[in-house]
Structure 1
């Protein structure tokens, strides 16, 4: 009679950090430590447990394109964003709640909007099970009524878009504090870029430091008045 061998998540997590994340120029010691502490497998659907720490986008729910970003993308996002302990963060696209859990360890508060009610409920359960208390998951279409659902809690120190958009809507940039920053994947396949927009006096400073692709966020416009 054969005995099933338990999957070694600790070894897989070590390999994820050393073989996926460090080679992607993520060298911030705090970010690397965080990825070792927050268990990604606790936020992954049961069917994908064995690949929870692989270099993959993990499918979520039943909607087209709904997925967790690859671990190396989440890690570099965190490094780019450089959250501070007192920061207030808006996340659009909660997904499984994993990225919110990571950010919650670095900042004061995360408000996260999820358009899919089932995903929002699962994210709340995942966060509660992980003991994360400073994330509020709201079921909402972030784009509806000129981004009205994003206003509660504004202005923010940071805004994170959990998927790609054609362009960054000006309505979201107006919700940043001076010195605040917005992170998103911007562009159209196959040409997308990680984009960091900082709110500075009199306008915005834009950096697009690396190539990356991500599924589209639902209902975001394919064009807007804001141009890079």
Structure 2
């Protein structure tokens, strides 16, 4: 959270659960970027899940958030955030706002965040939630994320929180030189990939590990 006020919605108990998440789920699995760890120590994950699931907010797994979508496992959020290799002040495009948790982590890292959500209900809820807890600098768009955000391109990083069958070329086109795209790819068998654009516009690809994400929604 952007402040350190003790409230029932973000209590000392919640902060202890975040510390536990970091020390038991993230550091032992190799997450080393202190900016990522510090961001995830501050963002109140329990506020991004349905009320009836808040007791499970810091569990080591994804959770449903409605409309057949999920909030990613904390470890996956950390891996994807770290893989961007961005510094405060750089610009990142998020495809798939969802509940807004990944958005908040990126904003807490000091990045300028542009985020797109295709489902209006989730988009409205995420925008209201993020505004209410202090992330007022995030730029929102409701619409088809497959087109990226041409008016604001290029981006230093692009992060995609749902899996296309193949990587849309538009994402690579909207990367700045030395920018990185972090994206799950595949239908039945998915893998998490990182694409890096060099100074000359050439693309390098790295495969990280198998993952399971909801499909990237198709719209016109």
TMscore range, shorter length: 0.7 to 0.9
Deviation at 1:61, TM superposition (A): 2.2
2:26 maps to which residue? 21
The structure that has the greater radius of gyration is 1
Give the alignment's Cα RMSD to 1 decimal.
Answer: 1.9
1:187 maps to which residue? 186
Which of 42, 45, 56 aligns to 2:50? It is: 45
2:114 maps to which residue? 111
Matched, 1:90 2:93: yes
Aligned partner of residue 163 in structure 1, secondary structure: coil
Query: What CA distance in whole angstroms lies between the structure 1 residues aligned with 2:155 and 2:215?
Result: 23
- Conserved 8 A contact 2:114-2:140: yes
Q: TM-score, normalised by structure 2?
A: 0.88
Deviation at 1:176, TM superposition (A): 0.7
Query: What CA distance in whole angstroms lies between the structure 2 residues aligned with 1:107 and 1:172?
Result: 22
Aligned partner of residue 8 in structure 1, secondary structure: helix
Query: What CA distance in whole angstroms lies between the structure 2 residues aligned with 1:19 and 1:85?
Result: 26
1:159 maps to which residue? 158
- Conserved 8 A contact 2:187-2:215: no
Query: What CA distance in whole angstroms lies between the structure 2 residues aligned with 1:51 and 1:69?
Result: 13
- Conserved 8 A contact 1:31-1:75: yes
* Residues 142/212 of structure 1: CA separation in 2 closer, same or farther (3 Å cut): same
Deviation at 1:217, TM superposition (A): 1.4
- Conserved 8 A contact 2:144-2:219: no
- Conserved 8 A contact 1:156-1:176: yes
Aligned partner of residue 60 in structure 1, secondary structure: strand
Q: TM-score, normalised by structure 1?
A: 0.85
Deviation at 1:72, TM superposition (A): 0.5
Aligned partner of residue 127 in structure 1, secondary structure: helix
Query: What CA distance in whole angstroms lies between the structure 2 residues aligned with 1:109 and 1:11?
Result: 28
* Residues 21/108 of structure 1: CA separation in 2 closer, same or farther (3 Å cut): closer
Deviation at 1:150, TM superposition (A): 2.0
Deviation at 1:33, TM superposition (A): 1.6
> Which runs of structure 2 are paired with 1:51-90 in the superposition (5 Å)?
51-62=56-67, 64=68, 66-90=69-93
Deviation at 1:186, TM superposition (A): 1.4
User: What stretches of structure 1 of length at least 5 have no aligned partner?
Assistant: 1-5, 222-228
Aligned partner of residue 152 in structure 2, secondary structure: coil
User: What stretches of structure 2 of length at least 5 have no aligned partner?
Assistant: 1-10
